[in-house]
Amino acid sequence: MEITNNWILPALILVPFIAGFICWLVDKLDDHLPRYIALIGMVVTLGLTIALWSHGNYTYELGQKAPTWAAEFYVPWIKALGINIHLAVDGLSLLMVGLTALLGILAVGCSWGEIQKNVGFFHLNLLWSLGGVIGVFLAIDLFLFFFFWEMMLVPIYFLIALWGHHGSENKSRVYAATKFFIYTQVAGLVMLVGILGLVVYGYMMTGMIGFDYNYLLAVARTLDAQAPHVAYAFMICMFIGFAVKLPVFPLHGWLPDAHAQAPTAGSVDLAGILIKTAAYGLLRFVIPFFPAASAQFADIAIIFGLIGIFYGAWCAFQQTDMKRLLAYTSISHMGFILLALYAGNIISFQGIMIMMLAHGLSSAALFIMCGQVYERLHTRDMRLMGGLRGQVQYLSFFLMFFIAALVGVPGLGNFIGEFLIMMGSFGKFPAFTIIAAVSLVFAGLYGLILIHRTLFGTAKDAQKGSSSLKDLSAREIVLLLICALGLVWLGIYPQSFLDISNSSMQWLANSYIPVQEIVDTAQQVVTQQNVEIQ
């Protein structure tokens, strides 16, 4: 295999790992040193991503059989089992790595004043989870992909269990962390069954054991055509693995508890990045590997997605805890991802891309603001808030701005993502799309309720002890401004991101075309036979 190794790809994974390890080593010297090292590590990671963006080739070539990799890194690992350290980046993975690096910087920044104990070990876990996520986005050897997929769960378990919500008992934090770990671990093992099934079937076909993306892509598509029932079973295994992490109703039980107990940086990690790995996995593996099985499963998946949209919105409407409300909004918004995914055209796929970026920024910013509100009021219960608008000018402005972004106000990134998803999905699933569009009314409702309960009305018990609350500091304003500028950029000029992801999404959309042609031809033959019989 002739590959020009690009050193940036392993560096993107190694920099967070090395920086996190150094944070842990220097913990005893000074509490502030790990914070600066972690920040530098994530800034370097973002810089490397920008270098890939500026020098990579992300153009689409008609008729290509696999994604166009802008850069690759290949080193043999376990030759007897066909396992290699094979990393690659295209437009889809580049944007996801960029989002991870940017939100990593924000996660370090928002934990600056919040985390006071075991600071070095905290940053070790935070950066290792980010390094694992980047590994998921870059690995195209499925054994390596699964290794990173499982590895990123352990640091997040410690983040929730050790540095969870200050106002809760230790048991609640450990319970939420354990629940998260069990859900995602079991789902990962189900996904492993699907991966190993493909490997075994490939060995039966070719006599070769391999985990490489292009090899298993060919195996899966052959299976999809020749043994559709087996392909459907493997597809369901992989779908379940990703659906729990997305999360899809009714596999969402871990998310509200994990968010409610996680530290602010952990929530940024979970909402902004972790659930995007599931959407990425569905786009990268499930849809291209099993186009016929996916088309067969589409209606079922979309119905679960629609239930999740309304269920998440209704549960958010019922919440009194700010963090739990935002956790349920994530469940609601991720239902749109399933609708767009199975519409299977370039517009809906590009809508997923913008939606993931915009939701990552807006939800991360809102969870950061939850931490800022808790720091001032020592509660997240919205029944104990009120009247903040007159006391904290900047906090009020940013909270209203990001709620507006979350509910899809035009001019910001979330609106572009939702619009593209609706436009791309309507042609194939008009009824489902109309039902999903109705849910946007609920999004406006829970957004307005959050704003009304926190910013307007009269000050409640939580504020009575303090005559004047501190407004946002310069550090906090900078963190929120980064998210705000990103959302405005996505809303005003999304083309800069659509151009990068176009090659990947066009290839994905084209993977549906042969299947659709087969279905159409079969229907024409059946119709013709019926006419001849009559």
Give the DSSP letter of residue 321: B
**Whole-angstrom Cα distance, residue 450 to residue 152?**
32
Q: How far is CA 78 from CA 75, 81, 86, 446, in A?
A: 10, 6, 12, 51
Say if residues 353 and 362 touch (Cβ distance below 8 Å): no
How far is residue 120's CA from residue 105's CA, in Å, rounded to a whole number? 16
Token output for 259: 């968010």
* DSSP string of 383-398, one letter each residue: GG---GGGT-HHHHHH
CA distances from 235 to 198, 220, 380, 533 (A): 10, 9, 41, 38
Could you tell me which of 474, 373, 364, 455 has the C-alpha nearest to residue 413?
364
Interhelix angle 32-55/91-110, nearest 10 degrees = 160
Residue 324 sits at the vertex; the CA angle it makes with 161 and 258, to the nearest 5 degrees, is 25
**Smallest Cα–Cα separation from 418: which of 402, 433, 400, 403?**
433
**Dihedrals phi, psi of 180, to nearest 5 degrees:** -60, -45
Pick from 319, 330, 314: nearest CA to 270: 330
Domain ranges of the chain: 316-534
The answer to whether 9 touches 87, Cβ cutoff 8 Å, is: yes
Taking CA atoms, 226 is separated from 66, 290, 426, in Å, by 20, 12, 31
pLDDT in tens, the chain (534 residues): 445 668 889 999 999 999 999 989 888 777 788 889 999 999 999 999 998 888 777 776 665 666 778 888 989 888 888 899 999 998 899 999 999 999 999 999 888 877 778 888 889 999 999 999 999 999 999 999 999 999 988 999 998 888 877 555 556 888 888 898 999 999 999 999 999 999 999 898 888 888 998 889 888 888 888 888 999 999 999 999 999 988 888 888 888 888 888 888 888 888 888 888 999 999 999 999 998 898 889 889 999 989 998 888 888 888 888 888 888 888 888 888 898 999 888 999 999 999 999 999 999 999 998 888 888 888 888 888 877 777 788 888 898 999 999 888 899 989 999 999 999 998 888 899 898 888 888 878 888 888 888 888 676 654 554 546 787 888 889 999 999 999 999 999 999 899 888 888 888 888 765 444 443 433 443 344 344 444
Dist CA 444 CA 407 (whole Å): 6
Distance CA 27, CA 196 (A): 41
